[in-house]
Amino acid sequence: EDQVTQSPEALRLQEGESSSLNCSYTVSGLRGLFWYRQDPGKGPEFLFTLYSAGEEKEKERLKATLTKKESFLHITAPKPEDSATYLCAVLPPGTNAGKSTFGDGTTLTVKP
C-alpha cells in the first residue's frame, strides 16, 4: 500500500525563521508529487507539482524539492500569513491512475 508520511506534525516558527517540511513516500514509479496549502475551513489549494528526482519549484518564500524517496518544502523567512496546513499527495502509476494518497499534513504557525 502506498504510504505518504509528513513531518513534523506541527511546526511553530518565529517570523523570519526559515525551516523545512518533509514528505516521504513509498510509492514506486511515482507519476507526480503535489504540495497543497490548506487554510482553516477551506479546501486545499495547489502549490506545486514535482515529477522527477532533482526537480525544484519556487513560489515567493516557498521552494519544493524532490528526491527518489522524499520531498521537502523549504520556507524562507516566513511571515504570519504563511501559517496554514501544508499537505503533500502522490499519484501512483499504472492501473491505480485515478487514486491519490495524501499525507496527514504539517500545521505551520508563524508568530510575528
Rule CB under 8 A: which residues touch another protein?
A: 31-32, 34, 36, 41-46, 49, 51, 87, 89, 91, 97-105
CA distance 41 to 93: 31
Closer residue to another protein (CB): 78 or 105: 105
Q: Which residue has the cell 517540511?
A: 21
Give the three-class secondary structure for 95.
helix
Neighbours of 64 (CB within 10 A): 24
Shortest CB 16 distance to another protein, Å: 29
Closer residue to another protein (CB): 51 or 53: 51
Shortest CB 77 distance to another protein, Å: 26
Give the three-class secondary structure for 80.
helix
Contact 12, 21 (CB under 8 A): no
Contact 26, 2 (CB under 8 A): yes
Closer residue to another protein (CB): 16 or 93: 93
Shortest CB 112 distance to another protein, Å: 27
Closer residue to another protein (CB): 14 or 28: 28
